[in-house]
Amino acid sequence: MNIVRRLVITMVVAAAFLGSCCSLLYAEDFSKPDELVAKSTAVFKSFMADPEMEWFKNHLDRAKGVFIVPQLLRGGFFIGGSGGSGILMAQDAKSGKWSYPAFYTMGSISFGLQIGADASEVILLVMSDKGLDAMLSTEFKLGADAAVAAGPVGASAKAQTADILAYGRSKGAFMGLSLEGAVISVRDSWNREYYKKAVRPVEIVIQQSVVNSGADPLRQALP
């Protein structure tokens, strides 16, 4: 078998594997926005109760916004993919009041030596106006439209200067997480379903013009 044929077969197998992974990502994702909010609430409370999240808890009140992806599914066979649904909540600069959630998707494709699949819990702290403005756009890429860095873990940890700080946890353990190049997109259909009318993220998280009491437990968990 010549090298070209081997390469073609490898690419076909990789594409098939990636296709199955992507199918898995969507098959295991949440089917309704209420489910995503409930799971996001559980994940956020779990982060807040973790002793390794001291810096996170102490600086949360300085964040412009919080983006929670309770289940980021990843899989790959040389070509990798990741995907999940998330919610964005922003804090009013004057009152400190947290908004109700806006709905998004997050996904990426990567290349290199990677075999296997896993699921992670991800929370992004939006620390700057630039980061929040990027989140409010229809679609943006982490690292390109807003700088992203790993969030500090532990009481004495020091944060890097970035628009967005990323925390990732798999099976209860914090891990190095690279989200450079991940694309975050607005999920208009879920925003419409959750609030019973067409509504933009800026109306939800900045103007705070809509309400759904199902998200009150999460809002109450925020400082």
Domain spans, the chain: 3-221
pLDDT attached to residue 22:
45
Q: Which pLDDT value is given to residue 171?
A: 72
Q: How far is residue 163's CA from residue 136's CA, in Å, rounded to a whole number?
A: 14
At 201 the pLDDT is: 97
- Written as six digits, the tokens of 128 are 């700057």
Q: What is the pLDDT of residue 20?
A: 44
> Which 3 state secondary structure label does DSSP give 188?
helix
Predicted local confidence at residue 177, as pLDDT:
62
pLDDT at 11: 41
Residue 135: Cβ-neighbour burial (10 angstroms; 0-12, 13-18, 19+): buried
| Ranges under pLDDT 70 in the chain | 1-29, 74-82, 108-118, 155-157, 159, 172-178
Q: What φ, ψ does residue 137 adopt, rounded to 5°?
A: -75, 165
Residue 155, pLDDT score: 60
pLDDT for the residue 203: 98
pTM of the model: 0.81
The predicted pLDDT at position 136 comes to 94
Query: Cα–Cα distances in Å, from 128 out to 51, 66, 91, 135, 212?
Result: 25, 11, 12, 11, 26
Sign of torsion over alpha carbons 43, 47, 49, 51: positive
Residues whose CB falls within 8 Å of the CB of residue 171, separated by 6 or more in sequence, listed in order: none
Instruction: Give the pLDDT confidence score for residue 175 in this predicted structure.
Output: 60
Q: Give residue 68's pLDDT.
A: 97
Question: Cβ neighbours of residue 17 under 8 Å, at least 6 residues apart?
Answer: 75, 76, 77, 79
Nearest-angstrom CA–CA distance, 134 and 32: 25
